């Protein structure tokens, strides 16, 4: 059985990976456009690295996905 190694990222690490500041990250979370962090304690949250990687990949795929051709009649 293969063990899954998950890594938590705190806010400074997330900010190093995405081009947003703290306020923008939390605004995107409120709008459902960014992964929600996990509560680690009373005053500590972190994101799973795989959630941030998947979000980044979705942004790349959204940019390179071909648009459906428009039918003009």
Q: Does residue 35 contact residue 20 with C-beta atoms inside 8 Å?
A: no
End-to-end CA distance of the chain: 57
The pLDDT tens digits of the residues spanning 48-72 come to: 999 999 999 999 988 886 665 655 6
pLDDT at residue 52, rounded to an integer:
98
60 or 9, which is more confident = 9
Domain boundaries along the sequence of the chain:
8-56
| DSSP3 helix / strand / coil % (the chain, rounded to 5) | 45, 15, 40
Q: Does residue 49 contact residue 8 with C-beta atoms inside 8 Å?
A: yes
Q: Does residue 7 contact residue 48 with C-beta atoms inside 8 Å?
A: yes
The pLDDT tens digits of the residues spanning 25-54 come to: 999 999 999 999 999 999 999 999 999 999
pLDDT band at 14 (very low <50, low <70, confident <90, very high): very high
Global confidence as pTM: 0.80
């Amino acid at each position: 059985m293969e063990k899954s190694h998950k890594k938590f990222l705190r806010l400074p690490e997330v900010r190093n990976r995405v081009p947003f500041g703290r306020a923008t990250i939390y605004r995107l979370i409120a709008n459902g456009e960014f992964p929600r962090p996990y509560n680690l304690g009373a005053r500590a949250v972190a994101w799973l690295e795989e959630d941030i990687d998947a979000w980044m990949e979705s942004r790349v795929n959204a940019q390179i996905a071909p648009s459906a051709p428009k039918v003009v009649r």
